[in-house]
Amino acid sequence: MRPEGISINPVTLPHPNKLLVIEPLDYPNPYDFHHPHRHDYFEIIMVNGGKGSQHIDFSHHAIEQGQLFAIYPGQVHLMQRGSATGLLIQFRKDIFEFINPVKHYHLYFREPGFTPDPATFEHLYSLALQIKELFGKDSLSPLATYKAYSYLQILLISLTELKPQKTSDPGNHTVSQFLSLLPQHIRTHKKVSEYCGLLSCSPDKLNQCCKSGLGKTALELIHEEMLLEIRRLLLMGRLSLKEVAYELNFDSQANFNGFIKSRTGLTPSELQASLH
């Protein structure tokens, strides 16, 4: 069991009753930003000036004027703002009920950074400023709330146009949905059939879609996500190897060790050392 005092729960939005929050880039965070964290909401970072740096999962990214970053729930994140200024847009998955046709799985970008041309950045930043202006009022009517959601909708559609996903091709939304389910359920769902139950499709169909869109079987993608989650937990450095195996519901330490060795060629200890 996990010792008392150790928590790997994701950071939640500071305003629990809101689906959408917008803050200046330098707002006082509700968590310790000196250490990697993960949150359970989407975050769009818009840099309007200055410089800084950040780590998203296992990659370092410089922060510079005119850049945007899209971070999805579960990713490990550490940002050093430096002199960077701009806006943070944070929103829950529930908001997608109000901003069709864009779906949450459209935002699971493999590369989180965007560097649009200056005119496009200014347009997107102006949309964010419109949201900020609306939310800065003492009271917001239901119609005004929908107006803010509409600005976000345009912004998100623009991001998907800037970096279209191969899995968003017609007839292949099943793959996109599957990929978005993986980080949400990987600790408890390790079988293809379990994801088919969530997607209401057959294993044959899911495998066919995965092979066609990504050249991999559904089980291979599950195993990739499992290894990614292991690396994320090790990167955060809050759990021992035994505790990581427990969190991911491996039935024995030997199976956990074997899983890592077969996919990385490293022992768990060697993998842990390689991340720091």
CATH number at residue 102: 2.60.120.280
The crossing angle, in degrees rounded to 10, of helices 218-236 and 203-214 is 70
- Count structural domains, the chain: 2
Asked if residue 22 lies in contact with residue 128, where contact means CB atoms within 8 angstroms, the answer is: yes
| R_g of the chain computed on alpha carbons | 20
Domain range for 113: 20-164
Q: What is the pLDDT along the chain (276 residues), one digit of tens a residue?
A: 333 333 445 566 555 567 899 999 887 665 555 677 877 789 999 999 999 999 888 788 999 999 999 998 878 888 888 899 999 999 988 888 888 888 887 888 878 999 999 999 999 999 999 999 999 888 888 888 889 999 999 999 999 999 865 544 434 678 888 988 898 899 999 999 999 999 999 999 999 988 887 778 999 999 988 998 898 888 877 789 999 999 999 989 999 999 999 988 999 999 888 876
Q: Is 265 helix (H, G, I), strand (E, B) or coil?
A: coil
Q: Is the dihedral of CA 153, 154, 159, 165 positive or negative?
A: positive
Last residue of a domain, one of 142, 164, 186: 164
Cβ-count burial of 203 within 10 angstroms (0-12 exposed, 13-18 middle, 19+ buried)? middle
C-alpha torsion 160→163→167→169, nearest 10 = 70
Residue 2 lies in a domain: no
CATH number at residue 182: 1.10.10.60
Distance CA 233, CA 213 (A): 28
CA-based nearest residue to 129, from 95, 89, 78? 89
Distance CA 26, CA 214 (A): 38
CA-based nearest residue to 180, from 236, 108, 109, 272? 108
CA 152 to the chain's CA centroid:
17
Distance CA 55, CA 27 (A): 19
Q: Which residue has the tokens 């993986």?
A: 182
Instruction: State whether 146 and 178 are in the same domain.
Output: no
Instruction: State whether 60 and 77 are in the same domain.
Output: yes
Instruction: State whether 231 and 144 are in the same domain.
Output: no
Residue 13 lies in a domain: no
